[in-house]
Chains A and B, each alone.
Chain A
Amino acid sequence: MQLDFAARELTVKLVYYGPALSGKTTNLQALHRASDADSSGRLMTLDTRDDRTLFFDLLPLTFKGSGGLAVRLKVFTVPGQVIHASTRRLVVQGADGVAFIADSQESEAQSNAESFMDLKGNLKAHGLMLRQMPLIIQFNKRDLPSVRSDEEIAQLAAKGREPVYLAVATRGEGVVESFIGLLHLTMSHLNAEHDLAGKFGLNIPGLLEEVNRKLGGRQPVAEVLAASVGGALDVLRGEEA
């Protein structure tokens, strides 16, 4: 997080993490498509010729924020391929929140788990505990056959700590929901740490409304947040009240 007092601007870094080919870039593309021209800048992709992310993708989003503090979101993806370990470590540095994009296919369960451990390790390398990082998990590619069943995921998600979303990123389904969930967690977390609402008049519900609107969301934010199949969005929601 960076706070520019003079410009009354808050810059927040969100990182999409996950195994190779799980759909991180596709998530960002869908977000980019969904967002209106005013708030979204160009989607920058640093990739190889076969569309594999080489360094990262970056989608800058800017929102006015109703409390007199403009919010700039820098949304990154990491390269999922195992060999880009050090790049992932560099990209995740300074992240304020992480969306973990898992591949729902049964065959990918192991890669998901490995990538998650990798995330944990890389955060640790920067002195961060995964436990303290705002985190959502998205199970992407729900449209494919031989994916882990909704029931199985819901069951496990209910036991876990982090909100879990189901998505088909290629069709844009679940993408905005995941993003708003992540933003909600991240902003609440930053607010709890820095009292942004008290000191700078940041209005988080207002911001979420604005983001939701600019991303073409038709449902109210509360319903978007409720799309999560497990985990604890409420813990932080409780803190806010």
Chain B
Amino acid sequence: MTEPPSPVAARSERSLDELTASRLTLDDLVDRSALREMAGSFYELFQIQLMIYSEEGILLSAVAEQPELYAYLNEFSAPREALVELARRVRAIDPRPADVTEHCITGAVYQVFGLDYDNRQIGRLILGPFRSPERREVDPKLVELEPSLDPEQLKALFARLPLATTETVALIARHLKGALDLILFSGHKALLTTNMHLASVRDSFRELQEKNAKLQEAYNRLKELDRLKSNFLATVSHELRTPLTSIIGYSEMLSEGIAGEMNAEQREFVTTIHEKGEQLLELIMGLLDLSKLESGTMSLHKREVDVAELLDDVTSTLQPTARRKGVQLTSSVGAGLPTLWADPERLRQVLLNLSENAIKFTPEGGTVELSAAASFMDVDAGEGDADGMVLFTTKRPAMSLVVADTGIGISEHEKARVFDAFYQVDGSSTREAGGTGLGLSIVKRLVDAHDGRVEIQDNSPCGTRFVVTVPRRRASISG
């Protein structure tokens, strides 16, 4: 017999389902040489021959030496043929639903047991030949079959066969099956582990490669876009600003009388040109900001932000404006305020816009107060469906930044609209407050970019509270 192929080599990689749900063969699960070793030590212990067949009919293990009786019988042609026929018959026995006992021409007994794994028969155990106590003598028909056999020798050799009751053999088989089951289980486990390991390594590798390629592509595209955008913005702002600065500069010089005295009317006209020029410049800067935000090319440079410091900075920047207007500007922050993960420049811009508004829309003698407090915000997955609803409505640590004034307030139906670009309450061109109506739309976009929210509340007894709430920590949901 040629050496069977090593089961390890036969184990080509298979999917998890194939390895757990489909039929597995005995050959898949055990190492043949280990099985042979086990059968060998079993033989040493009980002296009963053991053969293990897989369900597919492959002999996986057998003890090499023949009982002497059988060696002797094989020297004669008729008994040899009978034995071959017996072996064929025994091999074909299906031990289902119950174990089968088969008698040999010698009168010795074979017993065939089914070997199950995972509630399926995957092989057979054949134990024998052995003498059962009911039959002490060799079958006399043997000599009829082959008269030249020596009865004395037959008797002696028969007596050397192991003696056992079928009950004992069944018990032995049960223990053997128990041990084999453990071996099969370990084999199965090892098979799964190796396959899973291979598969998951391959899968991770594939995923990484895909991601790398995508990232590289996206990176290249972004780099190109970024270059184009910077170029464009730089050109446009330069082209617009250069003539405008001249207009502003010259009109300022004119109004200061550097080019000669002007009469009151002339000075008024020039001053108007100067003011409108300044306004136009502001508008251009705002538009540039907005276009950056809109094209999504604005990148946030997030880091740990000390909110108290930020508020102080904003108040001191605006203090002169507030003083000029006769509005009291303060900031207050509770002790032990946690830091915030955000882009400090952009947050500053948000607070500046809100505070400028607050000062602008608060009459003399009023107050504007900046404050900050740790808070929570609801996180919904934003998936727009009810899948796993119950898992998603979680609170996320956040920071609320408040700009409260005692000014003119914003009516309920205007609250939603003031965030629109260019929208101003009482949009008549003669309104005294000035501005272009871009401030809040920029605020909204900057806050959105932080995954945050802006809310307008009424202040009591009068005025407005703008509450900006942004997540305090890095987001980790990637899906």
Given contacts A58-B20, A114-B476, contact A46 B394 (CB under 8 A): no
User: Interface size of A by Cβ–Cβ distance < 8 Å?
Assistant: 48
Residues in A neighbouring B8, C-beta threshold 8 A: none
Q: Does B135 contact A (CB under 8 A)?
A: no
Residue pair A55, B119 in contact (C-beta under 8 Å): no
Q: Does A197 contact B (CB under 8 A)?
A: no
Residues in B neighbouring A46, C-beta threshold 8 A: 189, 192-193, 196
Residue pair A113, B381 in contact (C-beta under 8 Å): yes
How would residues 149 to 193 of chain B score, 1 for a CB under 8 Å from any chain A CB and 0 otherwise?
000000000000000000000000000000000000100110011
CB of A128, distance to nearest CB on chain B (Å):
13
State the CA gap A165–B263 with chains docked (Å): 86
Residue pair A110, B387 in contact (C-beta under 8 Å): no
How would residues 453 to 479 of chain B score, 1 for a CB under 8 Å from any chain A CB and 0 otherwise?
000000000000000000000001111
Q: Does A179 contact B (CB under 8 A)?
A: no
Residues in A neighbouring B192, C-beta threshold 8 A: 44, 46, 55, 58
User: Interface size of B by Cβ–Cβ distance < 8 Å?
Assistant: 38
Residue pair B200, A117 in contact (C-beta under 8 Å): no
User: Most B CB atoms within 10 A — which of A46, A121, A131?
Assistant: A46
State the CA gap A62–B118 with chains docked (Å): 9
Q: Does A94 contact B (CB under 8 A)?
A: yes
Residue pair B200, A86 in contact (C-beta under 8 Å): yes
State the CA gap A124–B207 with chains docked (Å): 14
Q: Does B388 contact A (CB under 8 A)?
A: yes
Residue pair A113, B196 in contact (C-beta under 8 Å): no
State the CA gap A137–B193 with chains docked (Å): 28
Residue pair A137, B388 in contact (C-beta under 8 Å): yes
Residue pair A74, B20 in contact (C-beta under 8 Å): yes
Q: Does A93 contact B (CB under 8 A)?
A: yes
Q: Does B98 contact A (CB under 8 A)?
A: no
- Tell me which of A28-36, A155-163, A199-207, A217-225 binds B: A155-163
State the CA gap A118–B479 with chains docked (Å): 7
**CB < 8 Å neighbour of B386 from A87, A90, A159:** A159
Residue pair B381, A117 in contact (C-beta under 8 Å): yes
State the CA gap A46–B387 with chains docked (Å): 30
Q: Does B258 contact A (CB under 8 A)?
A: no
CB of B199, distance to nearest CB on chain A (Å):
5
CB of A40, distance to nearest CB on chain B (Å):
10
Residue pair A109, B394 in contact (C-beta under 8 Å): yes
Given contacts A44-B189, A90-B203, A93-B15, contact A153 B196 (CB under 8 A): no
Given contacts A44-B189, A55-B192, 5 further A-B contacts (CB under 8 A): A72-B119, A74-B21, A87-B200, A93-B15, A118-B479
Cross-chain pairs A/B with CB under 8 angstroms, 15 sampled: A46-B192, A72-B119, A86-B204, A86-B207, A93-B16, A113-B388, A114-B476, A114-B477, A116-B392, A121-B479, A131-B387, A157-B390, A159-B389, A160-B389, A162-B388
